Amino acid sequence: MTQSDIKRLSLILLFMPFALWILLLIVLPHIGMGVLALREKVAPRVYEFGFGNFIEFLHEPIYWNTLLRTGSMSLLVTALALLAGFPIAYYIAKVAGWRTRGALFLLCLVPLWVSDLIRAFGWILLLRETGVISSALQAIGLLNGPVELLYNDVTVVIGLVYTVILFMIVPLVSTLDGMDDAMIEAGYNLGGNGWTVLRRIIVPYAMPGIVSGCIIVFMLTAGSYLTPILLGGKNSSWFTETIYEQFITRYNWESGAAFGFLLLAFTSLVVWLGLKLSRQTLAGTIARS
């Protein structure tokens, strides 16, 4: 064997784990899901190839309303997470002293390591009718009776922002960290006020971080299951819940697969649009964080 043969052989060996992973766990399962989604049940154990599952989706307003609702609420959560998270990231990266900076960043990461489940559980204990906030407000006399703060959309949105905001802050901090303070000073020296400097210098510089944060946050929100169910109750109409219902409760895998496909197509479309509009690439944003 010559040297180049050995090289080629080792390249193939090195490529194997990657190829197996992507092919067996990503590509084939998604093809399988697509095929299943295109299978129509015409009679028990009799199937036909067609778009019936998707047509059923269009004919049932409750389904596409749920998808639209999930999508628009996810966009809202993403925007809120960006608005709330950007000042925090800027504070950590630029305002805080060198020592507090590390500590604050670490504090930001701590909830990241705690399961969504525990965080949602914590919110339930705080917000429910017999929860901490309700009882505390009664104790100091602001309320006469218990108040239920769970099971409404505002709570779901706040809970989702809470769950995902760290994925916004972390990429923002890492991009802002690389920014030279001199750029900001130069902006002021050239006569810009705080708003202009933010808009013309800081935000453009932080764009890769903003885009990657938004993508991750949007995907996590649209695909989340625990937070909408636990904080919004059984009627929170989140699309993942509809998928779960089709798969597990109704055992209707064909339409479950079609719904899964729609969710994937919808989120991919939003991400693609986001990348196009901001002129970023997937490799340049996600891989950095």
Partner 1 sequence: MGNTGNNWAFLLGYRAYVLAFFIFLAAPLVSAGTFAFNDSLFPALPWQGFTLDWFFNDTEPKLGMFHDRRLLRGLYYSFIIASAVAVLSVFAGTCNAFLFVRREFPAKNFFYIVMIVPLVIPGVILGISILVLASSVANGLEDRYDMDLEFLRPGILLVVLGQFSFITTITSLVIIARLKKFDAAMEEAALNLGASRARVLMTITLPFLRPAMIAGGIVAFLVSFENFNTTLFLVGSEAPLTITMFDRMAKVGSTPVLNAVSFFLMVGSGLLALLSIVVQRDKSAG
Q: Which is nearer to partner 1, 78 or 267 (CB)?
A: 267
Which residue, 75 or 226, has its beta carbon nearer to partner 1?
A: 226
Least distance (Å) between residue 260 CB and partner 1: 5
The residue among 219, 235, 227, 113 whose CA lies nearest residue 163 is 227
Measured CA to CA, the distance from residue 276 to residue 9 in angstroms comes to 39
> Judged by CB, which is closer to partner 1: 50, or 284?
284
Q: How far apart are CA 193 and CA 151, in angstroms?
A: 43
Q: Say how many C-beta atoms besides its own lie within 10 A of residue 82's C-beta.
A: 19
Q: Which long-range contacts (CB under 8 A, 24 or more apart) does 124-128 make?
A: 124/150, 124/230, 124/231, 127/155, 127/231
If the CB atoms of residues 11 and 42 are measured against partner 1, the closer one turns out to be 11
With H, G, I as helix, E, B as strand and everything else as coil, classify residue 107.
helix
Distances in Å between the Cα of 277 and the Cα atoms of 79, 201, 270, 271, 274 are 15, 19, 10, 10, 5
- Nearest distance from C-beta of residue 60 to partner 1, angstroms: 19
CB of 224 to partner 1, least distance (A): 7
Unique residue bearing structure tokens 């043969």:
5
Output the smallest distance, CB 180 to partner 1, in A: 18
**How wide is the angle at C-alpha 221 spanned by C-alphas 199 and 280, nearest 5°?**
40
CB of 247 to partner 1, least distance (A): 6
Cα→Cα distances 261→12, 57, 60, Å: 32, 12, 17
Please, how many CA atoms are within 13 Å of residue 59, restricted to the half-sphere of its CB? Answer: 7
Least distance between partner 1 and beta carbon 251 (Å): 12
